Amino acid sequence: MVIASIAMGIWAGLFVISVSAGLNEQRTKDALNTYISHVQIHNPEFVKDNNVEYRIDDMDKVRKTLSGNAAVKSFSERVVLSGMVSSSAGGFGARITGIDPEQEKSVSTMHEKLVDGAYFEGMKKNPVMIGKKLAEKLKVGLRKKVVLTFQNDNGDILTGAFRVVGIYKTSNSKADEMNVFVRASDVNRLLEENAGYHEVAIIVNNLAEVDTVSSTISASLPNLKVQSWKEVSPDLGYADEMMMQMLYIIIGIILMALSFGIINTMLMAVLERKRELGMLMSVGMNKTKVFFMIVVETVFISMVGGPIGVVLGYLTVSHFGSAGIDLSVVGKGLEEFGISTMVYTNLEPRFYLNVTVMVIVAAILSSIYPAIKALQLKPAEAVRAL
Amino acid sequence: MSAVIRTDNLQKYYNPGEPLEVRALDGVTLEIERGEFTAIVGPSGSGKTTLLNIIGGLDHQTGGSAHIGDTEITAMNDNQLIDFRLNNIGFVFQAYNLIPVLTAKENVEFIMLLQKRSKEERNTRTEELLKEVGLEDKMNNRPSEMSGGQQQRVAVARALASKPQFVLADEPTANLDSQSTADLLDIMADLNQKEHVTFLFSTHDQRVIDRARRVVTLEDGKIISDEKK
């Protein structure tokens, strides 16, 4: 029973942790693959104030630097404007991103998120791609007209009529509500002499090295602000760090519950074996030996139950890591937090080791109280216990 | 003959000086010689078990003293008593109290393990003792695979494993049928006569009383008779 409860506790703990880690990873991955990318380059002033005039001046140098960096997988140039999108149903604030559709495909999976229409295809003049939620608010469908309004460097209001070529839906409904995508050439044409690019989105070959790559690019482009995704979207970075803390808190809670289980079971074992313990003490087993006998028994039980739980946990995490868990029943709620409804469990290998060590430590600590209780038995009474 | 056990005005009072004072032992003075086969008898509550517990170093007296050989065990602290019991006293309990997961051989052997005896000595003595109690063919059986009588014989072998000065047996036949009781008494009497092992029983069992060579009767914590046959 103790072995089974330890195994189940660890299995459940690892599974819950892997689901949480999977949710977080999925959220981060979705955000990086749709809107944020791995590294972004801006005019330093644009980071402080998203004003149209803070363009990247020397795009050729940026292109040359990125093309020559082996760690960079791909990049996309973006025009980023703050403006409004309106239809006959009303107008809403929006972030208008002008892209080269083909180039953007190399840094974003937005082209795979279409639920209606095509990715900038079948429409020659001013196509726009909007999120499903925004389309609902604007009450527009495919090929319907929307008006984009934004300012040029002088603060003059510029407007352009665009037709909906595609409606997309990502796992982040909030972002879908305020982002519209157009061709960079179309907005640059409207901007005339203020044409240019505000953002370069980069995908690196190895995400784990993103900070190093970011620093290298930054060294080559000292006049520009080069930021990794953690700097661009600190909430995602914080969530990552917070998740690690949370995971250890979850493990702590599980271990605490496990400890109470072990204490309870071992206390029962001590009470059930009163006569045996009484006999051992009567015939001359000293207190130190009795104490360590209980501790070693508990640790042994944990050492059997622990690895079983870890193996079960590993198998479950591996299975759902490839098959995924469909959480579409709570999809709407998850989308509000930018989390996909399909969760793939994920757990770093070090967690298995850490959990195993923590279980053994918890077992040792949990055995102390029952061992002390065993020492308090009076041998003369214990040998006659029923 | 020299006294292996000697008690002098041994007292054990519960709630002393209070209205509910209980005198479990009230001035017991007794000498047991080496090689005796003695039964302590008396009705329930007469103090038999308390006397055995104090002589066995499992309980403390409230007055008087008890000596094992030349050692006053009533002056020892708990830790000293643990070591003393290990090397000087053998115990046989009413409910056998064998360790269920160990075989008969291991149950006998582990006392010598506590005494840090060599493996060779342990093996030899365990086999000798189990042979003496007629269980040479049950050495590898666990308690659950043996009858009550056989388990109690293992307990006797275990009690003798540490080469004690004497064996204390608290109601050793209480859970046994007639045949098992007779077999066990034969074995203990044989050990007593051939190897001069000192046995001190507490018992209600007439069959044990009949076989004892000395019968000490307690009542209300006092010795009311002491007969040698």
Q: What is the DSSP string of B65-96?
A: EEEETTEEGGG--HHHHHHHHHHHEEEE-TT-
Collapsing DSSP states into helix, strand and coil, what is residue B197? coil
**Tens-digit pLDDT profile for residues B23-39:** 999 999 999 999 999 99
Query: Integer distance in angstroms from the first to the last C-alpha of chain A?
Result: 23
Domain boundary among A201, A223, A245: A223
Alpha-carbon distance B229 to nearest alpha carbon in chain A (angstroms)? 31
Collapsing DSSP states into helix, strand and coil, what is residue A65? helix
Question: What's the rounded Cα separation, in Å, for the pair A267 and A372?
Answer: 10
In this prediction, residues B69-88 reach a mean pLDDT of: 93
What's the sign of the alpha-carbon dihedral B141, B145, B146, B148? positive
For chain A, which residues lie within 8 Å of any Cβ of chain B, measuring from their own Cβ?
275-276, 278-287, 289, 378-380, 383-384
Which of B76, B80, B97, B163 would best serve as a mutation to test chain A binding (most A beta carbons within 10 A)? B97
Torsion of CA A236, A241, A246, A249, to 10 degrees: 180
B193 Cβ neighbours under 8 A, 6+ residues apart: none
List alpha helices for B148-205, DSSP H.
148-161, 178-195
Q: Is residue A33 part of a domain?
A: no
Strand pairing report for B3-14 and A225-228: unpaired
Extended strands (E) in chain A: 39-42, 72-87, 90-99, 114-117, 127-131, 145-151, 157-168, 179-183, 199-204, 225-228, 325-326, 342-343
Structure tokens at A179: 């982002």
- Are residues A339 and A206 part of one domain? no
- Are residues A157 and A306 part of one domain? no
| Of A276, A283, A287, Cβ closest to residue B111 | A283
Alpha-carbon distance A28 to nearest alpha carbon in chain B (angstroms)? 54
Question: What's the rounded Cα separation, in Å, for the pair A339 and A335?
Answer: 5
Q: How many domains does chain A have?
A: 2
Interface touch A276/B94, C-beta < 8 Å: no
Q: What is the DSSP string of A8-44?
A: HHHHHHHHHHHHHHHHHHHHHHHHIIIII-SEEEE-H
pLDDT of residue B125: 94
Alpha-carbon distance B99 to nearest alpha carbon in chain A (angstroms)? 6
Would you tell me how many other CB atoms lie within 10 Å of the CB of residue B46? 22
Q: Is residue A209 part of a domain?
A: yes
Q: Which residues of B207-221 are buried (b: 16+ CB within 10 A; e: fewer)?
A: ebeebbbbbbbbeeb
Could you tell me which chain B residue has the CA closest to the CA of A386?
A: B95
Q: What is the DSSP string of A153-205?
A: TT--EEEEEEEEEEEE--S-HHHHHHEEEEEHHHHHHHHGGG---SEEEEEES
Contact list, A281 vs chain B (CB under 8 Å): 82
Q: Which domains does chain B have, with CATH numbers?
A: 36-60+85-228 (3.40.50.300)
- List the Cα angle B55/B42/A385 in 5-degree steps: 60
Average pLDDT, chain B: 93
- Are residues A214 and A85 part of one domain? yes
- Are residues A353 and A326 part of one domain? yes
Structure tokens at A199: 């953002």
pLDDT of residue B217: 96
Alpha-carbon distance A364 to nearest alpha carbon in chain B (angstroms)? 23
Q: Which residues of A130-150 are buried (b: 16+ CB within 10 A; e: fewer)?
A: bbbbbbebbebeeebebbbbb
| Of B86, B87, B97, Cβ closest to residue A279 | B97
**Tens-digit pLDDT profile for residues B16-72:** 888 888 999 999 999 999 999 999 999 999 999 999 999 999 999 999 999 999 999
Alpha-carbon distance B58 to nearest alpha carbon in chain A (angstroms)? 6
Alpha-carbon distance B136 to nearest alpha carbon in chain A (angstroms)? 23
| Of B53, B87, B95, Cβ closest to residue A380 | B53
Residue A66 near residue A217, CB atoms below 8 Å: yes
Q: Is residue A198 part of a domain?
A: yes
Q: Is residue A230 part of a domain?
A: no
Closest to A83 measured CA to CA, from A179, A186, A197, A192: A179
Residue-range definition of the domain harbouring residue A348: 2-28+237-382
Contact list, A285 vs chain B (CB under 8 Å): 82, 86, 114
Interface touch A383/B162, C-beta < 8 Å: no
Question: What's the rounded Cα separation, in Å, for the pair B30 and B54?
Answer: 13
Q: Is residue A21 part of a domain?
A: yes
- Are residues A352 and A261 part of one domain? yes
C-alpha distances in Å from residue A217, one per residue of A33, A42, A202, A205, B217: 20, 12, 11, 14, 101
Sheet holding B222-228, edge to edge: B89-92, B166-170, B199-203, B37-41, B214-219, B222-228
In this prediction, residues B165-176 reach a mean pLDDT of: 91
Q: Is residue A173 part of a domain?
A: yes
pLDDT of residue A161: 95
Alpha-carbon distance A383 to nearest alpha carbon in chain B (angstroms)? 7
pLDDT of residue A138: 94
Does the pLDDT value for residue B1 go beyond 60?
A: no
- Are residues A305 and A162 part of one domain? no
pLDDT of residue A338: 59
Which of A276, A279, A291 would best serve as a mutation to test chain B binding (most B beta carbons within 10 A)? A279
CB contacts < 8 A (A, B) = 56
pLDDT of residue A335: 65
Please report the ipTM that was assigned to this predicted complex.
Answer: 0.90
Query: Integer distance in angstroms from the first to the last C-alpha of chain B?
Result: 17
Question: What's the rounded Cα separation, in Å, for the pair A197 and A264?
Answer: 66
Could you tell me which chain B residue has the CA closest to the CA of A279?
A: B97
- Are residues A65 and A8 part of one domain? no
Could you tell me which chain A residue has the CA closest to the CA of B83?
A: A284
Question: What's the rounded Cα separation, in Å, for the pair B109 and B160?
Answer: 11
Domain boundary among A193, A223, A253: A223
Which residue ranges of chain A lie beneath pLDDT 70? 331-340, 386
Would you tell me how many other CB atoms lie within 10 Å of the CB of residue B136? 13
Which amino acid, residue A67? S
Strand pairing report for A179-183 and A90-99: parallel
In this prediction, residues B111-119 reach a mean pLDDT of: 93
What's the sign of the alpha-carbon dihedral A211, A217, A223, A227? negative
Domain boundary among A192, A223, A254: A223
Contact list, A287 vs chain B (CB under 8 Å): 79, 82
- Are residues A281 and A164 part of one domain? no
Interface touch B58/A379, C-beta < 8 Å: yes
C-alpha distances in Å from residue B128, one per residue of A80, A371, B132: 95, 35, 6
- Are residues A243 and A208 part of one domain? no
- Are residues A294 and A168 part of one domain? no
Q: Is residue A112 part of a domain?
A: yes
- Are residues A214 and A179 part of one domain? yes
Could you tell me which chain A residue has the CA closest to the CA of B50?
A: A380
Predicted TM-score (pTM) of the model is: 0.68
| Of B53, B79, B85, Cβ closest to residue A283 | B85
In this prediction, residues B165-187 reach a mean pLDDT of: 91
Structure tokens at B59: 């309980």
| Of A286, A378, A383, Cβ closest to residue B93 | A383
Could you tell me which chain A residue has the CA closest to the CA of B100?
A: A276
Q: Is residue A38 part of a domain?
A: no
Which of A272, A276, A280, A282 would best serve as a mutation to test chain B binding (most B beta carbons within 10 A)? A282
- Are residues A209 and A98 part of one domain? yes
Could you tell me which chain B residue has the CA closest to the CA of A289?
A: B114
pLDDT of residue B181: 92
Contact list, A286 vs chain B (CB under 8 Å): 79, 82-83
Question: What's the rounded Cα separation, in Å, for the pair B38 and B226?
Answer: 10
Q: Which helix (H) or strand (E) holds B19?
A: none
Question: What's the rounded Cα separation, in Å, for the pair A181 and A109?
Answer: 13
